[in-house]
A and B are shown apart, each in its own frame.
Chain A
């Protein structure tokens, strides 16, 4: 259990490591204590990052990149959902610049035997689930800095 204390920042360990090791010795070695130590390590790093302007900016940079990747993933899934419903070819362009295109494939589909409504729902279901999951992740990522700021002293 004491090994988990190595996950804390060095400055924190130098300041509180001895006391914490003595405290961990007195506590039972169960999963709850391990989880507490893990969450504590995360909070200690968040405090260390927040206290330093350069580290805060680096964390913000990473946060921005994560948000951008999530936005693009959502755009791709939306494009895939739209393309599954379209009958003809589709071109995505801005003025003369072409970014992409969607070409429907004319191959026999077993699902064509099913009714059109069932086919649409069955084909689109994974896309909608994926889109909903990505939106939830995006909301969590966008809210993360605020949640961390609120939970820290």
Chain B
């Protein structure tokens, strides 16, 4: 029981970490689109979010639902690869 709750806690914590990282990535994309004077549009499902840089000169970059899923999977994959590598190569300090 204790192991199961620890495993669920670790799973939830890892998912929250990825969610926070994705939110940070969206923030970064907004800043970059403002700096680069491009309009950014997220089309996820039936929801659309448009961030206009206000410059009216640059192109509009549209990101669809699969890009969000791919981003989350990529972040999870990178995190799991580094975690697995550390788990296998960890040695106690001398």
Confirm or deny: B12 has a beta carbon within 8 angstroms of a beta carbon on chain A: no
**Nearest Cβ distance between residue B8 and chain A, in whole angstroms?**
16
**B70: nearest chain-A partner, CB-CB:** A99
Residues in A neighbouring B61, C-beta threshold 8 A: 76, 79-80, 83, 100-102
- What chain B residues lie within 8 Å of A65 (beta carbons)? 17-18, 21, 75, 78-79
Q: How far is the CA of A103 from the CA of B64 in the complex (A)?
A: 14
Residue A50 CB within 8 A of the other chain: yes
Interface on chain B toward A: helix, strand, loop, or mixed SS? helix
**Number of interface residues, chain A, beta carbon within 8 A:** 45
Looking at the complex, which one of A47, A102, A127 makes contact with B36 (CB distance below 8 Å)? A127
Shortest distance between the CB of B33 and any CB in chain A (Å):
7
Tell me, rounded to whole Å, the shortest Cβ–Cβ distance linking B70 to chain A. 6
Q: Which residues of B contact A84 (CB under 8 A)?
A: 36, 38, 58-59
B5 to chain A, nearest CB (A): 15
Using Cβ atoms and an 8 Å threshold, which residues of chain A touch B57?
105, 107, 109-111
